[in-house]
Amino acid sequence: ADEGFAFDLAVIGSGPGGYEAALKAAKAGLKVCLIEKGALGGVCVNWGCIPTKALLRSAEIIDLVARSSSFGIMAENVSFDFPQAVKRSRSVVRKLSKGIDFMLQRAGVEVKQGEARFTSPHDLDIVRDGIGVDHIRARSVIIATGSIPREISGLEPDGNRILGSRDALALKTLPSSMIVVGGGAIGIEMAWFYAKAGTVVTLVEMMPRILPLEDAEIALALRRSLEKAGILIYTGAKLERLSSDERGVNCRITVAEEDPIAVHAECLLVAVGVTGNTCELGLSNAGVECSGGYIVTDGECRTSADHVYAIGDVRGGMLLAHKASAEAAIAVASISGKTSEPLDDTKIPRCVYVEPSLASVGLSEEQAVASGFSVRIGRAMFAASGKANAYGNLEGMVKLIFSCKTDRLLGAHVLGHGAVELIGELCLARQLELTARVLAGTVHAHPTLSETIREAAENSLEA
Ligand code: FAD
């Protein structure tokens, strides 16, 4: 029945998926309700992208200050005020969360605080502290409930010795030593931040290398940089917790057939990935199906219930904020009766915000070869760049992968200062399916780091 809909659209969750969807739908003229059980902005603003980047900025500054004398700046008695770095990070978060509140209000989105749960395909109960506080009926629903951290048995976070990523973003004091379990983007960013703040960091990854989905050559180059920064890294490694007490945790790390290594640290951070946040949503009451921890959707983000969509982390795929926002646009277009191109994972950038930072888009060399492409590789080192030399950030390179047959860019990998900003040009190149010739023929300003992109493209043509 078409009757009794208080809202055209109910959005569950206010992360970069949910709040973007609510804003876009309101702008399209829909009557929208957004339900959030925590703080506005979701994990991204409150416990993910933003607080990590604010802390990493402090680490970047201490990193620069540590080598400032070569620039003619004498900074003596410099120390890292850890509580202040955390305080600043939390205040950045609060400001952005308030900004989202303001934007939602201005767009006329009705925000309801509480936990949403389907009671029928179009009906949602809103619960606060276990008590039902509201009930809404909406024509369409977008589920944007994000993800929850994966746990490993024996390493369940206790907020004290065993930490989850949230705990690690708001510690009161700087730990003297830390074991980070997980060599993905989050584990690496945390490891680098704490190492720069002064913690002795050991990073343990089960897979044969850190960032197993990234280009092997680039991931290895990043590993070398992290090791230079003092982080002890074990890959292909198994970690067991032996005991924990008031002084910290005792672990055993085993790499292949070698003798086990005993490691003690004040705390251990678990960063082994996440899974879709599908629990307690009453999905079966709406006829929404899940598989492997995520909600099943089609290319338009539509679930097994026609009027219910799922976007962002809860939908699976690449678990990134900008992917969640891009899916918000697709879902809202579909609800408004428009069609849009489904997302292409090979056009979505991936970044690790340490120094040198890593950013990539499209296929790695290994993936391109495994997909049957005959490839031409172009490389250019930042050590040869005038700007990198002037700045004193020499590490890293640009590696571009082109198809021999079409000359088009298949994948781009940048390791170096500012890589996360440089990747924008290469995302556009992927989007427009540009060729090596076009990239090499595009005049870039001198001296800039982006010249290195042009040089890598030219290098591929010389190969
Ligand atoms: P989320 O941002 O997770 O938001 C979901 C919201 O839904 C939450 O606020 C939650 O409270 C709410 N919710 C859940 N269930 C209900 C319910 N039943 N009722 C009401 N509300 C509910 N990605 C990047 O792209 N770049 C980065 O630099 C980056 N850094 C990260 C660093 C860390 C430490 C972490 C943990 C993640 C990071 N990510 C990063 C990943 C990024 O945070 C996620 O991909 C992104 O937040 C997903 O957005 P989303 O909209 O799907 O959900």
Establish whether residue 416 lines the binding site of ligand 1, counting it when its CB lies within 6 angstroms of any ligand atom.
Answer: no
Q: Is 170 exposed, middle or buried (0-12, 13-18, 19+ CB in 10 A)?
A: middle
- Give the pLDDT score at 163: 97
Note the Cα 303 to chain centre separation in Å.
24
Q: What percent of the chain has pLDDT over 70?
A: 99
Mean pLDDT computed over 11-30: 98
- Catalytic: 446? yes
pLDDT over 70 at 385, yes or no: yes
Tens of pLDDT, residue by residue over 290-319, are 999 999 999 999 999 999 999 999 999 999
Q: Is the ipTM of this complex over 0.85?
A: yes
Alpha-carbon span 420 to 355, nearest angstrom: 10
- Residue ranges of the annotated binding site are 53, 145-147, 182-189, 205, 273, 313
In this structure, the chain runs to a length of 463
Measured between alpha carbons, how far is residue 120 from residues 88, 141, 172, 281, 286 in Å? 43, 12, 44, 11, 5
> What are the tens digits of pLDDT across the range 180-196?
999 999 999 999 999 99
pLDDT of residue 245: 87
| Edge-first strand listing for the sheet containing 248-255 | 237-245, 248-255, 261-265
Rounded to a whole number, what is the largest CA-CA distance in the chain? 74
pLDDT of residue 1 exceeding 80, the answer is: no
3-class DSSP assignment, residue 148: strand
Query: Using CA positions, which residue lies closest to atom 45 of ligand 1?
Result: 320
Ligand 1 binding pocket mutation candidate from 11, 14, 19, 49 (most atoms within 8 A of CB): 49
Q: Measured in angstroms, how far is the CA atom of residue 260 from the centroid of ligand 1?
A: 37
Condensed to tens digits (0 to 9), the pLDDT of residues 405-433 reads: 999 999 999 999 999 999 999 999 999 99
pLDDT for 2 equals 57
* Of the candidates 357, 352, 342, 327, the residue with the CA atom closest to the CA atom of residue 419: 357
Which among 34, 17, 14 has a CA at the least distance from the CA of 26?
A: 34
The pLDDT confidence band at residue 358, using thresholds 50, 70 and 90, is very high
Name which residue leads in pLDDT, 41 or 280.
41
